Amino acid sequence: MVQQDGSQESFSMIENSSQRRHNASLFCTQNAANQAIENAILGQMPLTEEKVKLLETKAKEIRRSIIEMLIEAKSGHTAGPLDMADIFTYLYFHALKHDPKNPSWEYRDRFVLSSGHICPVLYATMAHAGYFPVEELKTLRKFGTRLQGHPHREWLPMLETSSGPLGSGISQTVGMAIADRIDNGRTSGKQFYCVTGDGELDEGNNWEGIMLAGKEKLQNLTVIVDRNNIQIDGFTEDIMPLNPLGDKWRAFNWHVVEIDGHNFRDIDRAFGEARAVFDRPSVIIANTIASKGVPAFERMFEWHGKPPGTEEEIKQAREALK
């Protein structure tokens, strides 16, 4: 169900860079003076033209996987997974310090998905990154699957958290960053990332966590908001206005970057900026097009929580992602 062209080449690139990071980090634990070198390696991986092309190819493969998973599962969410495919590709194939062959590697960055319902993009990206076989994606939402309808770390232990009920991911990531600071100070070399939806920001628990992160000046915490402007009942600004969204975060002492969530150069700039800012946590408000990649579904809140179901819809999705 997934086109595998080019994947061999990309995997070897990933393994090399992962190994390099791994070695750098181990080296760093022996000698704190090398921390800066490690950070330089991790934070300054250049986004070459070649790498952008690779990421674009990967993102398309991941979108294809998402659509095929949803068609097979006959339930699940379409809009968010499609519109976050670029960010997830960037995370797992460029930004995250991680090792798919050793998911519990102590020095890995931590990635928390707060909006658990967009897990098709998480599962698809993890599979393409080598965490588990791409074929397993077909089991999404079926009895006995590791790929539960909302992510559960007991079933898929390589997940950092279980999520589904909205609004709790930021606080968990804040807790992780605080715990790491207790053990390793402010220069542990780990980054803590959390992806949240925009409609999800209606939940009060988020703002409690955002307030605490501002107070604690968690410089290695980055939240990425999927600003697709839709939620189940309609457009976010009709249901519960969030704007001026950037100002809200700034008021809580966060560094705010607003970007085009489908432009890898933009994404790369934002992640670099988030890593560079040291006196506060960062939020990347990623403006995305709901259901990005399938024009017939794009921007429509009706696609928040359903899979392509009719023959027409399935055809539209497959054609668009050819």
Partner 1 sequence: MLNPHLKLNPKLLDPAVEQVPIRKGFGEGLLQAAETDKRVVGLCADLTESTHMLAFKQKFPERFIEIGVAEQNLATVASGMAAMGKIPFITSYAMFSPGRNWEQIRTTIAYNDRPVKIAGSHAGISVGPDGGTHQAIEDIALMRVIPRMVVISPCDAIQAKKATLAAAKTDDPTYIRLAREKTPVMTTEETPFEIGKAQIVFKSEKPDVGIIATGALLFKALKVAHKLSEEGKKVTVLNIHTIKPLDEEAIIKLAHESRAIVTIEEHQIIGGLGGAVAECLAAHFPVPIEFIGVKNEFGQSGKPDELLEHYGMGEKDIYAAVQRVVLRKK
Catalog residues that contact partner 1 under the rule CB under 8 A. Answer: 110, 112, 152-154, 160-165, 167-168, 171-180, 182-183, 204-205, 208-209, 211-212
Eight-state DSSP code of residue 95: I
Q: Produce one character per residue of 148-170: b if its CB has 16 or more CB atoms within 10 Å, e if not.
A: bbbbbeeebeebbbbbbebbbbb
Q: Find the shortest distance in angstroms from Cβ 152 to partner 1.
A: 7
Q: Find the shortest distance in angstroms from Cβ 192 to partner 1.
A: 9
DSSP H helical segments within 104-202, as ranges?
119-129, 169-184
Q: Nearer to partner 1 by C-beta: 154 or 311?
A: 154
What would the two tokens of residue 255 be? 């560094």
Q: Find the shortest distance in angstroms from Cβ 209 to partner 1.
A: 6
Q: Find the shortest distance in angstroms from Cβ 30 to partner 1.
A: 21
CA 206 to chain centroid: 17
Q: Nearer to partner 1 by C-beta: 164 or 272?
A: 164
Q: Nearer to partner 1 by C-beta: 133 or 204?
A: 204
Q: From 184, 199, 175, select the one nearest 112 (Cα to Cα).
A: 175
- Give whole-number Cα distances, 18 to 61, 138, 153, 224, in Å: 21, 27, 23, 23
Burial of 185 (0-12, 13-18, 19+ CB in 10 A): exposed
Q: Find the shortest distance in angstroms from Cβ 175 to partner 1.
A: 2
Q: Nearer to partner 1 by C-beta: 196 or 287?
A: 196
Q: Nearer to partner 1 by C-beta: 103 or 272?
A: 103
